[in-house]
Chain A
Amino acid sequence: MKPLHNKGVMDYLKLAFNTLVIPITGLLVFLLIWAGAASMIDTSLGKFPGPAQVYQQSTTLYQEHINERTKEVAFYERQEKRNAKKLAEDPAAKVKIRPYTGKPTFFDQIITSLLTVMTGFLIASAIAIPIGIIIGLSPTLYSAFNPLIQIFKPVSPLAWLPLVTMVVSAVYVTQDPMFSKSFITSMITVLLCCLWPTMINTAVGVATISTDLVNVSRVLRLSWITHIIKIVLPSSIPMMFTGLRLSLGIAWMVLIAAEMLAQNPGLGKFVWDEFQNGSSNSLGRIMVAVLVIGFIGFLLDRVMLLLQRKFSWDKTAILR
């Protein structure tokens, strides 16, 4: 007779093979092809960066970030000492505290991009979900909104951007702006592009609630608000999250283009600046940005997936 535990070990190895060995092999093959192809492409800025150059540029970018931070710390230390000295000489002296004005590093730009995309996405969701619920509940409103949604959905962010820029410049006029104009412009462009998938999917989710559950609600004479909270929202959550995930994916793609043109100091501006810079390192640095953009997009999707699992009542549904 075969010992049973052998089968267990075999299964475990098979699983490890499928989840580790195969993806890693895929990655290695990709790196080889990339390295090979890169060495054959000549541009006016030198050879197309291969994996080695990209790795090197990523360490450089990290080093630049560290250097910038040390400089910043040193700047504040100097300022503090100077002010302390001034006060010691004359307690009534006026001391000035100046903020550090170094240029943003790659990592600062990642943070800016994330902040911009999340703001746009959250505001878009706050608008799209309620509208989606309302038009999902009423076939009349759905018919009224549907053509508008279908028309605005395929519009490229680049088409919105000039309009948004002009409107923001005209409307957002303050003495002491809390946000820079470039931030507002990029954020609104993102918002305009990621409203639609959430809105449509929420509406469809709401419109396709099982009639039986609606009948339960009618027999119980649930009030309008209880009906929404207890029946409509939970049953449309899976569709709503599908929409939110699509929206966030679009938001992240749109953001890079918006930042390039609006000059919002995020990853889009980084890519644009490197392109304009045109040094021999530029292509490598852009490639680092490309990979980072892809990786962050992937992480954002995973976070949405985790949230979907947490909020969805149907724990057996296969989510990927």
Chain B
Amino acid sequence: MSQAHLELSRVSIEFPTPTGSFKALDNVNLKINKSEFITLIGHSGCGKSTVLNIIAGLYKATTGGVILDEKEVNEPGPERAVVFQNHSLLPWLTAYENVELAVKQVLNNKPKAQIKEWVEHNLELVHMMHAKDKLPSEISGGMKQRVGIARALSMQPKVLLMDEPFGALDALTRAHLQDSLMEIHADLKNTVVMITHDVDEAVLLSDRIVMMTNGPAATIGETLDIKLARPRDRVKLADNAEYNHYRHEVLSFLYERHGHKDETTATEPEKKKPIVTIRTSNKAA
């Protein structure tokens, strides 16, 4: 592996709670190459989003840190654009204005025409030009997420962070957006870190799947390189033995090796146990 583009080095994080500090992540190490498409997969509440938020700079790791192109990450910034799970578009701005807000931040002091061109280019990329003057409340969930992706892409991020971007969408819309995302990735070659709990999505999109153990004190359990040729076609892959092998690998990690809470909590320090059960049951509900 060459010089890592993005590196997580011994990342742990603890959150203060009324009953003492809660260790969500413990010793997460990960090296990500340029243009790599990584998915983080794991059960609900295992700290996937926490990892993403640390890379984004929204949370600060208690120990360890994140290095992007040899610089430490310690605050959020547009070079690590985030696509949020529930789109997070500003409801009072149109699709165009939402993207424009981001573009004005990264292309400040550029002529108006150039800003307009770049906003429209990014909306075009996600096929949303037809609805550019609509408010988020006037478009469907899938369309909102497209605008969210356009907004993130328009910042020309070094790393695109996606927090279960398609989690709230129906299966058909999700498939469409996955295809769009693969096209965009093939085109722009961004580094992508995406959270999902959909095994098919992970195998279809990723170059590498990072599987996380259950929390608390979650860490990376295994990683799996996906060596399927690109471009990938979901229909053809359905019968592909290699594809099904990868699926099986992920499924067995999630449901056989890390499926039961008892199994993982047995490895935790005893005194943390009560918090554990409360936290996980809360998240699951």
Q: Residues of A with Cβ closer than 8 Å to B?
A: 210, 212-213, 215-216, 218-222, 230-231, 234-235, 313-314, 316
Contact = CB atoms under 8 A, between A and B. Distances in A.
B90 A230 contact: yes
A316 B90 contact: no
> What 6 pairs across the A-B complex have the smallest Cβ distances?
A313-B92, A212-B88, A218-B76, A234-B92, A219-B76, A220-B105
A212 B76 contact: no
Contacts of A212: 84, 86, 88
Contacts of B105: 220-222
A215 B76 contact: yes
A31 B155 CA distance: 66
B281 to A, nearest CB: 22
Contacts of B81: 219
20 contacts: A210-B88, A212-B88, A213-B88, A213-B90, A216-B82, A216-B84, A216-B88, A218-B57, A218-B58, A218-B75, A218-B76, A219-B56, A219-B58, A219-B77, A220-B155, A222-B101, A222-B105, A230-B93, A234-B92, A235-B92
Nearest to B148: A216
B82 A215 contact: yes
Contacts of A218: 57-58, 75-76
Nearest to A234: B92
A313 B97 CA distance: 14
B90 A215 contact: no
Interface residues on B, range: 20 to 34
A213 B273 CA distance: 34
B58 A221 contact: no
B90 A220 contact: no
A221 B90 contact: no
Contacts of A235: 92
B157 to A, nearest CB: 9
Contacts of B84: 212, 215-216
The DSSP consensus for interface residues of chain A is helix
Nearest to A312: B92
A108 B105 CA distance: 54
Contacts of B137: 314, 316
Interface string B155-166: 100000000000
A215 B92 contact: no
Interface of B: 56-58, 75-78, 80-82, 84, 86, 88, 90-93, 101-102, 105, 135, 137, 155
A33 B88 CA distance: 56
Contacts of B78: 219-221
A213 B92 CA distance: 12
Given A219-B82, A220-B78, A231 B58 contact: no
Given A219-B78, A219-B81, A234 B88 contact: no
Contacts of B135: 313
Given A219-B77, A219-B78, A221-B76, A230 B101 contact: yes
B55 to A, nearest CB: 11
Given A219-B58, A219-B80, A222-B101, 20 more contacts: A210-B88, A212-B86, A213-B88, A215-B76, A215-B84, A215-B88, A216-B88, A216-B90, A219-B76, A219-B77, A219-B81, A220-B101, A220-B105, A221-B76, A221-B78, A221-B105, A234-B92, A235-B92, A313-B92, A314-B137
Contacts of A220: 78, 101-102, 105, 155
Contacts of A216: 82, 84, 88, 90
A215 B86 contact: no
A314 B90 CA distance: 11
User: Which of B75, B101, B135, B137 gathers the greatest number of chain A CB atoms within 10 Å?
Assistant: B101
A316 B135 CA distance: 12
Contacts of B92: 234-235, 313-314
Nearest to A212: B88
Contacts of A210: 88
Contacts of A231: 90
Contacts of B58: 215, 218-219
Contacts of B101: 220, 222, 230
A305 to B, nearest CB: 19
A221 B108 CA distance: 12
Contacts of A313: 91-92, 135
A289 B78 CA distance: 61
A310 B252 CA distance: 56
A314 B91 contact: yes
Contacts of B88: 210, 212-213, 215-216
B79 to A, nearest CB: 10
Contacts of A230: 90, 93, 101
A230 B97 CA distance: 11
Most B Cβ at <10 Å: residue of A221, A222, A231: A221
